Chains A and B, each alone.
Chain A
Amino acid sequence: MTTAVRAERVTKRYRDVTALDDVSFTLEENRIHGLLGRNGAGKTTLMQIMTGQLLASSGRLDIGGKSPYENEAVMSRVCFIKESQTYPQYFKVRHALEAARLLFPGWDEDFAQALLADFRLPLGRQVRKLSRGMHSMLGIVIGLASRAPLTLFDEPYLGLDAVARHLFYDHLLTDYAEHPRTVILSTHLIDEVGELLEHVLLLDQGRMLLDTAAEALRGQVVTVAGPATAVDELAARNEELHRETLGRYARVTLRGTFDTAERAQAKALGLDLEAVSLQDIVIRLTTAHARSGDGVAGTRKGEETR
């Protein structure tokens, strides 16, 4: 597997805010990556650095081994669609598409036309007069039809209805299967895209909380419910993310390596391991992080005292 994006200790500081704090990761080529996190977690900043729109305060970020900042060769292979995209005031929908056709070497006009028909976008309408949802659709059409080897979507579907969102997922998956490329998708609608994502990055307050394959993550986080004593026994060996107690019963979300031996033991204790949805994993991890105040290491401290 080749590396598409490599970040080493990337930090972005504004006057009094640290938007990104020592972030390191690598993204493999031809995968769909999810960039998740709460508002203000640093997702957009990270994507702006990836697309050469911002410079990091320190650290290094490479795309295909080269810095994207003011780099024609790198940037001609990148497409960055964000929710709040500015279009020139006089632009009609067809003008935006014409510009995209000129600028993206891999642009597929037939695909763009098919998408336009599916989304029912009026070509002659001025972009600034489009509704919120149609505005988002235009971005999505450009992002998909650009066929850029590295495509970034930052919250691409503000105001988009459920039908249009699913159209987007369907088209993304189908086209991705035919024309593999690296996709980075930042979103709040985690459950909707959970099935799409092959790799997950989770940012919280500028730090990387999670950088793992989606499949592995689903096996790593489970919920167990049952008598508190039995649950405690299992919780003692794993990282506890969340706990609800009701009398003698407890329901706990745990993170660890739940291999066959561990699962058998849980069964012996009379406990069921339930899978946790990606959205719940993200919520549990982020809130556990916020509670401890000092990253995942904090919850580990809690473990030791038990």
Chain B
Amino acid sequence: MNRVLTVTRVQLVGWQNTLGWPWLLLLMIFAVNYALFLLIADREGNPTTGALISIYIVVFVTCIHWITQLLPFSMALSVIRRTFYLASALFLLVQSVLFGLLLFCCQLIEDATDGWGIRLRFFGLNFIDDLNPLLQIAIYTMPFIVLGFLGIFVAVFYKRFGLTGMWLLSTATLLGLAGLAALITWLDLWSGIGGWLAGQPMAAWFVGWPALLAALFAGAGYLTIRRVTP
């Protein structure tokens, strides 16, 4: 465990580039959006930008870089795969919660300032406004975790099985999904599934099922990394 914590500290080395960069980028995008909507001066439409997604994409890419760049470096400094993986998972979880909290705070400020004075919704997600704060934070947090573990898994898979492996994996995934869709159509289950999905509470939609998916990616990544060559 001690070693896992040490490796998370290695991930913090040069943190300005890993933790700071996503936020810097988000702030720059925010500035552009703010200027844009200030010029348009469309106060009635209650504009929602959707540019928030950029920070999620940046975190996804960062997680891929952990495997393609930080893993080979750490292994050269005698870190074993298991430790590196556990440290990355821990780092990702803590970072996700932190980022989720920060986004939620930004959203609070946004609300309090009536959309930064121009009724702009940059951080707010309209559909979750009525939920309790904890659930809102979880909804901000979860995509970081899912995308992070997806990025880690894909990068580890690529490192282990190469381009051919990636091609096989994506083809198999597509075929599997298509087969599932065909099966559902054949059994005429779409309306039933649709009804069941619609009946799911918000928490299951945005937290429960994503958490399951993240756990799946995390497990698959852990099993795959054990035989990776840096």
Contact = CB atoms under 8 A, between A and B. Distances in A.
Interface string B62-90: 00010001101111111111110000000
Interface string A201-213: 0000000000000
A103 B230 contact: no
A24 to B, nearest CB: 23
Interface stretch (B5-13, B102-110, B166-174, B184-192): B5-13
A85 B73 contact: yes
A53 interface: yes
B14 interface: yes
B10 A70 contact: no
Given A72-B83, A103-B6, A88 B14 contact: yes
A146 B77 CA distance: 9
Contacts of B54: none
Interface residues of A, number: 36
Contacts of A90: 14, 17-18
Contacts of A89: 65, 69
Given A72-B3, A98-B13, A54 B70 contact: no
A99 B13 contact: yes
Given A98-B13, A99-B13, A88 B65 contact: yes
B18 A87 contact: no
B65 A103 contact: no
Interface in A44-65: 48, 51-55
Given A53-B229, A90-B14, A99 B73 contact: yes
Contacts of B70: 88
Main SS of chain B's interface residues? Answer: helix
A157 interface: no
A95 B13 contact: yes
A249 interface: no
Q: From B6, B18, B70, B73, name the one whose CB has the most chain A CB atoms within 10 angstroms.
A: B73
Nearest to A71: B80
B78 A75 contact: yes
Interface in B119-156: none
Contacts of B78: 51, 75-80, 103-104, 148
B227 interface: yes
Nearest to B6: A102
A92 interface: yes
B226 interface: yes
A13 to B, nearest CB: 14
21 contacts: A48-B229, A53-B75, A55-B227, A70-B226, A71-B80, A79-B77, A86-B73, A86-B76, A86-B230, A88-B69, A89-B65, A89-B69, A91-B13, A95-B14, A99-B10, A99-B13, A99-B73, A99-B77, A102-B6, A102-B13, A103-B10
Given A76-B78, A103-B7, 20 more contacts: A53-B75, A53-B229, A72-B80, A72-B83, A75-B78, A75-B79, A79-B77, A79-B78, A81-B76, A85-B76, A86-B72, A86-B230, A87-B69, A89-B65, A98-B13, A99-B10, A99-B13, A99-B74, A103-B10, A104-B78
Question: Which 7 A-B residue pairings sit nearest by Cβ, starting from the closest?
Answer: A90-B17, A88-B69, A86-B72, A75-B78, A103-B77, A95-B14, A99-B10
